[in-house]
Amino acid sequence: EAGVTQSPTHLIKTRGQQATLRCSPISGHTSVYWYQQALGLGLQFLLWYDEGEERNRGNFPPRFSGRQFPNYSSELNVNALELEDSALYLCASRWGASTWGELFFGEGSRLTVL
Amino acid sequence: GENVEQHPSTLSVQEGDSAVIKCTYSDSASNYFPWYKQELGKGPQLIIDIRSNVGEKKDQRIAVTLNKTAKHFSLHITETQPEDSAVYFCAAIVDRGSTLGRLYFGRGTQLTVWP
């Protein structure tokens, strides 16, 4: 069975541009989470979607947004890119809206902002 | 919100030795504590977790202990092997209100096991 898949693997943008990252959860998983992994900072919670609704968002500015589609896939949009947005963006999925239990992570999308 | 601190940031051990990674948390309402292992170029993978009503949990060479009074939890790896080399993250969750669903991660420990 396929795991969580993310695209693109790498993305290079310049300041002020927009980036769109995509995630396909494990089949049957309805919850999708986005985390930012900047160098040396661990994983920072960005967004949580379940059944197409945003359930919670982390302490990031509004230019970080996303959505979840009817097939439970998700995209993360980052507008007006800044240099400090350079990071690995990880998507994870889980079955149902329970907040306990294993999160299954993808391998991430590496965003570089020049 | 919750604040999770993790130590050490790097840890080198000889194959066969034990490794211990420690984490503290700030919110006494935290009730679930997973540990994730991240190998180079991969996403994090859950290796063990513990809930707040349990003091210790073991799975083969891996164990986690939780001290709710002191608000700290630890990962113990015995008989380490080179394939244990990776970055390990502890995390905590406070399942209420604005923090619902949000895992708070430590900054990670780079474990290197020398053959």
Nearest residue, CB atoms, B107 vs list A42, A97, A99:
A42
List own/partner pairs for B106-109 with CB under 8 A and 24 or more apart: B106/A42, B106/B4, B106/B5, B106/B6, B106/B23, B107/A40, B107/A41, B107/A42, B107/B5, B107/B6, B107/B9, B108/A42, B108/B6, B108/B9, B108/B38, B109/B6, B109/B7, B109/B8, B109/B9, B109/B10, B109/B11, B109/B21
CB < 8 Å to B46, chain A? 102-103
Between B115 and A97, name the one with better pLDDT.
B115
What is the rounded CA–CA span in Å between residue A104 and residue A87? 19
Here the tokens at position B62 are 């891996």
What is the rounded CA–CA span in Å between residue B92 and residue B26? 10
On average, the pLDDT of chain A sits at 94
* pLDDT higher than 80, residue B4: yes
* pLDDT (tens digit per residue) in A53-85: 999 999 999 999 999 999 999 999 999 999 999
* pLDDT higher than 80, residue A99: no
Res A101: pLDDT: 81
Name the percent of chain A lying above pLDDT 90.
88
CB < 8 Å to B91, chain A? 43
pLDDT category at B54 given cuts 50, 70, 90 is confident
Instruction: Give, in order, the Cα–Cα distances in Å from B90 to each of A16, A26, A33, A69, B87.
Output: 34, 23, 17, 31, 10
* pLDDT (tens digit per residue) in B77-101: 999 999 999 999 999 998 777 777 8
Whether the CB of A2 is below 8 Å from some CB of chain B: the reply is no
What is the rounded CA–CA span in Å between residue A78 and residue A75? 10
pLDDT category at B32 given cuts 50, 70, 90 is very high
On average, the pLDDT of chain B sits at 94
Here the tokens at position A46 are 């960005």
* pLDDT (tens digit per residue) in B5-31: 999 999 999 999 999 999 999 999 899
* pLDDT higher than 90, residue A107: yes
pLDDT category at B53 given cuts 50, 70, 90 is confident
CB < 8 Å to B108, chain A? 42
